[in-house]
């Protein structure tokens, strides 16, 4: 049986798991919407987080690995080209910060590791690869604006989510789409790799925007 209903993976019931924005928007918001703006970063590796480490809660580590691979391909030669080699180093640093993919859980997240530490993991990863002026920071307000401006500058990001379809999950943000209709407010979809699938997926920001979340910017070193 086809597992998608109106453009959305049937395992999802809220804002996430959307793979066909046109079918989704026709079913949820009605016809007549036009894609008025789109921005996406090409060349970002697609893989499932389980390919890096099976039976693990490694979404954040896999997402950092994905973006480090992107910068490796863009001319930062001290970052390995092999995603497994990148992941080994990211995992090592994550464990130093309390993010053990074999032990992560609610109590551990509350008392040992927190998502607020993701930017520190990223900065230490830059340093581990010899880039001491690579940066990262977390953003808690104006998240959509942060996403759009960074995507427009070809800088992928992380979105760290607390509830809903991606409860306690981190995804890689690689683009966005805006749909418009006369006399209606625009609807924005954030383009992601969620790590559970190797397909490009989307988050419906109209459904998502009240969800507690943070954005982690990954800032490449100046050359």
CATH number for the domain spanning 38: value is 3.90.70.10
Look up residue 174 and give its two tokens.
């690689």
User: CB of 204 within 8 A of CB of 186?
Assistant: no
Q: Number of helices (H) and strands (E) in the chain: give both, helices first.
A: 7, 9
Q: Give the separation between CA 14 and CA 164, rounded to whole angstroms.
A: 7
Terminal-to-terminal C-alpha distance of the chain: 51
Q: Which of 183, 175, 169, 62 is nearest to 125 (CA)?
A: 62
Domain span including residue 113: 4-219
Residue 2: predicted pLDDT: 45
Q: What letter does residue 18 receive in the DSSP assignment? A: B
Residue 1: predicted pLDDT: 38
* Bridge partners for 37 per DSSP: 178
User: CB of 146 within 8 A of CB of 215?
Assistant: yes
User: CB of 7 within 8 A of CB of 23?
Assistant: yes
Q: What letter does residue 115 receive in the DSSP assignment? A: G
Residue-wise pLDDT for 20-70, tens only, equals 999 999 999 999 999 999 999 999 999 999 999 999 999 999 999 999 999
Q: What are the pLDDT tens digits along the chain (223 aa)?
A: 346 679 999 999 999 999 999 999 999 999 999 999 999 999 999 999 999 999 999 999 999 999 999 999 999 999 999 999 999 999 999 999 988 888 766 555 555 456 788 999 999 999 999 999 999 999 999 999 999 999 999 999 999 999 999 999 999 999 999 999 999 999 999 999 999 999 999 999 999 999 999 999 999 998 6
Q: Which of 168, 195, 54 is nearest to 105 (CA)?
A: 168
Task: Look at the chain and report how many structural domains it folds into.
Answer: 1
Is residue 127 helix, strand or coil?
Answer: helix
Contacts of 218 (CB under 8 A, 6+ apart): 64, 67, 122, 136, 155, 156, 157, 158
């Amino acid at each position: 049986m086809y597992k998608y209903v109106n453009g959305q993976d049937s395992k999802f019931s809220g804002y996430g798991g959307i793979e066909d924005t046109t079918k989704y928007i026709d079913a949820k918001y009605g016809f007549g919407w036009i894609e008025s703006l789109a921005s996406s970063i090409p060349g970002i590796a697609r893989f499932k987080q389980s390919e890096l480490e099976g039976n693990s809660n490694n979404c954040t580590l896999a997402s950092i690995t994905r973006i480090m691979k992107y910068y490796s391909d863009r001319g930062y030669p001290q970052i390995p080209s092999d995603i497994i080699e990148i992941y080994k180093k990211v995992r090592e640093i994550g464990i130093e910060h309390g993010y053990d993919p074999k032990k992560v859980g609610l109590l551990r997240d509350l008392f040992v590791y927190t998502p607020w530490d993701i930017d520190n993991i990223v900065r230490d990863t830059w340093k581990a690869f010899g880039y001491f002026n690579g940066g990262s920071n977390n953003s808690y307000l104006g998240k959509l604006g942060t996403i759009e401006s960074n995507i427009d500058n070809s800088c992928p990001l992380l979105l760290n989510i607390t509830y809903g379809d991606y409860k306690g999950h981190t995804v890689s943000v690689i683009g966005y789409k805006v749909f418009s209709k006369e006399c209606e407010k625009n609807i924005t979809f954030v383009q992601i790799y969620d790590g559970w699938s190797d397909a490009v997926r989307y988050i419906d920001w109209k459904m998502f925007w009240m969800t507690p979340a943070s954005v982690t910017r990954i800032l490449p070193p100046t050359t």
